[in-house]
Amino acid sequence: MTEKLIALLKASGVHAWEVTDVVTDAWEFYFIRHKLDQNRAVSVRHVFVNVFETTDGCKTLGSASAEVPLGATEDEMKKLISDLSYRATLVKNAYYPLNPAVADEGENVKIDVPAIAKAYIGALRSLPETATEDINSYEIFVRAKSRRFINSNGVDVRETYPSSMAEVIVNARRDGHEIELYRSFTSGECDEAVLKEDLVAAMRQGRDRLAAEKTPALGKVAVVFSSDDACEIYDYFSTRLDPAMLFRHFSDYKIGEPISDALAGDKVTVRTVKTLPGSSENFSYDREGAPIRDETLMENGVPRFFTGGRMFSCLMGLENTFIPTNVVFGGGTKTEEEIRRGAYLEAVEFSDFQVDPVTGDVFGELRLGYYHDGQGHVTPVSGGSVSGDMGEFLKTMTMSKETKRNDNIVYPKLTRLEDVTFAG
């Protein structure tokens, strides 16, 4: 089917095109407690086509995309290409060329789906449950994906990679009350140590949530982030390094210039890496066919390299760019003991936590935290909200030396922001 589609695109006279062909073979399991409720094997294929057109001598370029139905006839594919060609003429972006041809160095490795699934089931069944904290249910999805990308400039690359996910419901009970906590884990293969550590912590947090007091009126307070919500903080930096943000003037970062003139805390270092052990996004090429490589994007608070999608990279005059998949944020200068000195609020779980990459606004509704009074007393608390300005926080932000991984992101295990506004 893909070869026929490519032949029709070449014969159609469209200005340019891209085709992505993804085959997924998967095993899925659904457990209630630890009893298998149902399972299934899945094999699916999706073919996507993106058509580009220019109507003014390559001054502007438009595109339109669609999924090609499996089993589509030649006439149906011709009509789809014609429809996309027309829709593309209605878009008038500044002109840019598609990625050029590269040597195919993608890794087509053998993915052992049954072994990965077995590792997940074994890890979940070995959790130390108690009479008051246990696992309610879980779902496991293990996939072997094969992706081929072709464009009209001669790019034709293939690679195979694992992608897995577990969704888990944790129960906690106390004095006639019960609570459920949802946790999800995405990875390449099963990371048993991380899965078990996080779920043991979730059971403990469920217990503490039932015993939590209302968060006191704290006003301005130091907040230590010790969960994956901290990824939102670090996404603020990587997003502002994207050419799309720079072109639209949503980011004022400049190569070789500090992101702030008043950095008194730890300075952020950002790297993109081609391979990160355990990641579900260890790709050789991005979704537009550009080769992925290791690159330092920001070093100690100073941008060194901007990289992102093809269109905005070209509009910014940037060469040899790609869309990052794995991002590593370097650890800070502080030990965990230093991060945890004095009085502070440790934020563990929010109903929603966001850091706006354009305005820098920080906001989140606290579901569970721990108030450390600086005298050795720790109280589980719930309720209230945190807010502030990331542009100000980054000036005195401190980070632990130790890092942790959340799928395709590595970030400091502890992050401390000073003078956060807390509203009860």
Q: Which residues of 178-209 are buried (b: 16+ CB within 10 A; e: fewer)?
A: eeebebebbbbbbbeebbeebbeebbebbbbb
Q: Strand pairing of 403-406 and 398-399?
A: unpaired
- Domain co-membership, 176 together with 253: no
Let me know whether 304 and 193 are in one domain: no
Scan for tokens 């003078």, then name that residue: 419
| Residue 4, H or E segment | helix 2-12
Q: What is the CATH number of the domain that holds 118?
A: 3.30.2290.10
pTM of the model: 0.92
Farthest-apart Cα atoms in the chain, separation: 76
- Each of the 424 residues of the chain gets a pLDDT tens digit; together they read 899 999 999 999 999 999 999 999 999 999 999 999 999 999 999 999 999 999 998 999 999 999 999 999 999 999 999 999 999 999 999 999 999 998 776 566 789 999 999 999 999 999 999 999 999 999 999 999 999 999 999 999 999 999 999 999 999 999 889 999 999 999 999 999 999 999 999 999 999 999 999 999 999 999 999 999 999 999 999 999 999 999 999 999 999 999 999 999 999 999 999 999 999 999 999 999 999 999 999 999 999 999 999 999 999 999 999 999 999 999 999 999 999 999 999 999 999 999 999 999 999 999 999 999 999 999 999 999 999 999 999 999 999 999 999 999 999 999 999 999 999 7
Give the other-Cβ count within 10 Å of 337's Cβ: 8
For the chain, what is the domain count?
A: 2
**What pLDDT does 34 receive?**
94
Q: List the domain range (segments joined by +) for residue 402.
A: 213-424
Residues 6+ apart with CB under 8 A from 150: 2, 6, 18, 19, 21, 156
Shared domain for 133 and 194, answered yes or no, is yes
Please indicate, yes or no, whether residues 375 and 274 belong to a single structural domain of this protein. yes
Last residue of a domain, one of 175, 208, 241: 208
Same-domain check for residues 17 and 69: yes
Please give the pLDDT value at position 107: 64
Same domain flag for 355 and 416: yes
Look at strands 219-225 and 344-355 and give their pairing: parallel
pLDDT at 232: 97
Contact 16, 98 (CB under 8 A): yes
**Do 94 and 220 belong together in one domain?**
no
